[in-house]
């Protein structure tokens, strides 16, 4: 009996010693610093944005289709009915939620890169504006952060101006994703939607258009600044029809966020990309960024590279109901000259060298 008691006592003592050792080891582990916590929050902010952009619409559509074959089918039917009734809302100003633009998550999103907005001239609230956003990059991070979120201070820099950002009209046909886009102030890049914002909502509206679009994303890579703009004149025609001033903007660093496999013109992969773009409205890019665990691993998250969006001087445009081709060409050329001036005056300030040039195709 004494032998059993002694053995139990020895085991208990050993257990206490093990617990004490474990506690000392736990306490010896350094707690995350404030810098580590900030970095983690920034990474999570970017992760949720990328997943929302790439998966929210598709996953929501698949879930609604799945529910049709379950006892919860009324949910899908009711939402489908809602979309039909609400079909034209995206092209009539959307359904903006100002509170969403001020979410704290966007500040962490901004600080991850970081993203900065630079103002060069005032924008008067007595006019409407079309802001040309360049370059497209892969995911338009600079345009989204500056013109949709309030994290970089657009409203403080341009008081009385309400900014909108256009995106593919097909995105507004995806369930839930359409609500998410509209709540932030995004609208379809269609004549009807842009015309509504420039004519039916008074003055002080600035509609940002990523003019290069999907075609430009195919040429996105670090060290190369190529814009698809030479034959993109529809935004100039709309500016003339509504008397909206044209404003060039350039996001330095946008092309450095991802690495892309660029296929040469004339190759069979390039032709597949072009055909897919014409059918679906966007180009399937083969790209990669950093991984979730470390900056040196490969994944789908953008690299942490600074983005500086410089908003240039507004170009006054008269209101002409039916502008001639010559007038459109003239103001289009004036816009290109203003954009080149903006690029050349700021390129050495934000990471480029004096010899870097802006190629416009």
Ranges of each domain in the chain: 36-360
pLDDT of residue 281: 57
pLDDT of residue 33: 84
pLDDT of residue 222: 65
pLDDT of residue 221: 64
pLDDT of residue 5: 43
Q: Show the tokens assigned to 140.
A: 């338009």
pLDDT of residue 106: 97
CATH class entry, domain 36-360: alpha beta
Q: Which burial class, exposed, middle or buried, applies to 27 when counting CB atoms under 10 A from its CB (0-12, 13-18, 19+)?
A: exposed
Give the whole-angstrom CA distance, residue 217 versus residue 232: 15
pLDDT of residue 29: 61
- CB 196, CB 233: distance < 8 Å: no
pLDDT of residue 268: 66
pLDDT in tens, the chain (361 residues): 444 444 444 444 555 667 667 666 655 666 678 888 999 999 999 999 999 988 999 999 999 999 999 999 999 999 999 999 999 999 999 999 989 999 999 999 999 999 999 999 999 999 999 999 999 988 999 999 999 999 999 999 999 999 999 999 989 999 999 999 999 999 999 999 999 999 988 999 999 999 998 778 777 666 678 899 999 999 999 999 999 999 999 999 998 999 877 666 666 666 766 676 666 555 667 778 999 888 788 888 999 999 999 999 999 999 999 999 999 999 999 999 999 999 999 999 998 988 888 989 8
pLDDT of residue 260: 76
């Amino acid at each position: 009996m004494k032998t059993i008691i002694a053995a139990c006592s020895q085991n208990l003592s050993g257990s206490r010693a093990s617990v004490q050792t474990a506690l000392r080891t736990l306490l010896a582990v350094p707690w995350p610093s404030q810098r580590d916590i900030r970095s983690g929050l920034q990474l999570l902010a970017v992760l949720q944005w990328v997943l929302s952009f790439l998966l929210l619409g598709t996953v929501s559509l698949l879930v609604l289709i799945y529910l049709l074959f379950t006892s919860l089918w009324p949910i899908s039917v009711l939402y489908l009915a809602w979309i039909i009734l609400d079909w034209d809302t995206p092209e009539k100003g959307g359904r903006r939620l100002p509170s969403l633009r001020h979410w704290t998550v966007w500040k962490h999103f901004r600080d991850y890169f970081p993203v900065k907005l630079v103002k060069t001239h005032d924008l008067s609230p007595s006019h409407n504006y079309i802001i040309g956003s360049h370059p497209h990059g892969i995911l338009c991070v600079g345009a989204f952060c500056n013109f949709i979120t309030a994290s970089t201070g657009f409203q403080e820099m341009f008081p009385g101006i309400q900014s909108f950002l256009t995106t593919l009209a097909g995105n507004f046909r995806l369930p839930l994703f359409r609500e998410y886009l509209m709540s932030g102030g995004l609208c379809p890049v269609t004549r009807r939607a842009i015309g509504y914002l420039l004519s039916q909502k008074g003055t002080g509206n600035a509609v940002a258009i990523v003019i290069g679009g999907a075609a430009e994303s195919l040429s996105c890579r670090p060290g190369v600044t190529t814009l698809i703009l030479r034959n993109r004149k529809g935004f100039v025609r709309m500016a003339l029809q509504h008397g909206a001033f044209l404003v060039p903007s350039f996001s330095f660093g946008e092309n450095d966020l991802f690495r892309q496999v660029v296929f040469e013109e004339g190759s069979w992969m390039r032709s597949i990309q072009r055909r897919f773009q014409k059918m679906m409205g966007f180009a399937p890019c083969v790209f990669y960024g950093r991984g979730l665990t470390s900056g040196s691993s490969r994944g789908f998250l953008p690299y942490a590279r600074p983005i500086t969006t410089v908003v240039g001087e507004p170009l006054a445009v008269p209101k002409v109901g039916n502008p001639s081709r010559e007038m459109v060409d003239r103001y289009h050329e004036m816009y290109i000259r203003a954009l080149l001036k903006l690029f050349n005056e700021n390129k050495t300030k934000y990471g480029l060298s004096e010899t870097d040039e802006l190629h416009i195709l």
